[in-house]
Amino acid sequence: MIIEQKLTYSVLTEEDSETYLKEIKLRINEDKGMYIIHRALNKQLNNNRQGNANTKSRGEIRGGGRKPWKQKGSGKARAGSIRSPLWEGGGVIFGPKRKNYNIKINKKEKQLALRTLLHNKFKQTYLVSNIITTNINKPNTKAVLKTISNLSINLNKKTKILFIVVNKNINLRLSIRNLPNVELITADQLHIIALLKANKIIITIDALNKIKEVYNA
């Protein structure tokens, strides 16, 4: 059953103080939606598989149309084709073939899974003003670290942070690139694996509005 839940975020401004609240209403699955989240996760994991492993059977090997030597009298073992799996360069018995692992779920199911997971991660989510991410005039990793520090997030090897913005401007991307546990993603490219892996989620106000628009919140 789908219900509507209201989430209220405290916004961290450029002056590092929580000055106002931002509300968003999300239509989510009533029981935390673990089944629909699992379906969306399986879809993404399977769709990421290449399935390119491929071997040729004896029917696909070039040549071997005639018998290598006569059936009797040569003293050699009988042979009908050089394409036999017993020969070097011959076909492969029961070898892997190209396979499509893609799974399809409905667009509304995927949107519901993302909205429900955002709701489930509410306590690990922080909202920041757009100035913090757009006011970087040059690559500045210290500015990003300062924002993370102001949110009282302990950045260590075990803490994985997801930064959700509207646009990946070059300065912001270069500023975050040196931080191994921080992933930068745009709101319209949000996916299940990124949300599940994140211990902490930082969203800009514009990105939150974009999420509501794109994912039919």
Summarised one tens digit per residue, pLDDT across range 60-82 is: 998 888 899 999 999 999 999 99
Q: In which domain, by residue range, is 70 found? A: 50-100
Asked if 81 and 60 touch (Cβ cutoff 8 Å), the reply is no
Checking phi first, is residue 16 left (phi over 0); if not, alpha (psi -120 to 50) or beta? left
Query: Burial of 191 by CB count in 10 Å (0-12 exposed, 13-18 middle, 19+ buried)?
Result: middle
For residues 150 and 200, state if they share a domain.
Answer: yes
Residues 147 and 143: their CA atoms lie apart, in Å, by 6
For residues 126 and 196, state if they share a domain.
Answer: yes
For residues 138 and 197, state if they share a domain.
Answer: yes
Q: Is a pLDDT exceeding 80 seen at residue 119?
A: yes
For residues 43 and 71, state if they share a domain.
Answer: no
Q: Which amino acid is at 124?
A: Q
For residues 136 and 69, state if they share a domain.
Answer: no
Q: How far, rounded to the nearest angstrom, does the alpha carbon of residue 11 sit from its chain's CA centroid?
A: 27
Supply the pLDDT for residue 19. Answer: 62
pLDDT tens for each residue of 152-164: 888 887 889 999 9
| Partners of 22 in the β-ladder | 9
The residue-averaged pLDDT of 179-185 equals 90
- Using CA atoms, how far residue 200 sits from 41, 53, 104, in Å, is 19, 37, 29
For residues 87 and 188, state if they share a domain.
Answer: no
Number of domains in the chain: 2
